[in-house]
Amino acid sequence: EAGVVQSPRYKIIEKKQPVAFWCNPISGHNTLYWYLQNLGQGPELLIRYENEEAVDDSQLPKDRFSAERLKGVDSTLKIQPAELGDSAVYLCASSLGRSPQKLFFGEGSRLTVL
């Protein structure tokens, strides 16, 4: 069974440039999460989808961050414009059902903003 697939694995951009990350969850997993992980910290939830509906985006900085999950399968997280402080690892995870019994994470997308 294929795991959660994320791309790109690494991205280096200059500040004020846009960037997008893509995630394909495990087949059949209706719940998808985007987490932000800073160095030496635990993952912090940005947004959670149930199918195509964003049910929790309270921690997403909506002035520059946006996300979509068309057709309730794969998802894209966008930052525009990027700031120096956005340098971090962006993790995508998926799970079966609403209650997060067990999350399956992708390998993450490491963003460096210069």
Partner 1 sequence: SQKIEQNSEALNIQEGKTATLTCNYTNYSPAYLQWYRQDPGRGPVFLLLIRENEKEKRKERLKVTFDTTLKQSLFHITASQPADSATYLCALRDTDKLIFGTGTRLQVFP
Binding residues (CB under 8 A) for partner 1: these are: 4, 35, 40-45, 48, 55-56, 91, 93, 98-108, 110
Smaller CB separation from partner 1, 35 or 65: 35
Say whether 96 sits in a helix, a strand or coil.
coil
Identify which of residues 41 and 51 has a Cβ nearer to partner 1 in the complex: 41
The answer to whether 23 and 17 are in contact (CB under 8 A) is: no
Least separation in angstroms between CB 109 and partner 1? 10
Q: Considering beta carbons, is residue 18 or 100 the nearer one to partner 1? A: 100
Q: Shortest distance, CB of residue 67 to partner 1, whole angstroms?
A: 16
- Give the sign of the dihedral formed by CA 106, CA 20, CA 29, CA 44: positive
Neighbours of 1 (CB within 10 A): 6
Could you tell me the smallest distance in angstroms from the CB atom of residue 52 to partner 1? 17
Distance of closest approach, residue 105 Cβ to partner 1, in angstroms: 3
Nearer of residues 15 and 55 to partner 1, judged by Cβ: 55
Through-space distance between the first and last CA atoms of the chain, rounded to whole angstroms: 37
DSSP 30: -
Query: Are 19 and 110 contacting, i.e. CB atoms less than 8 angstroms apart?
Result: no
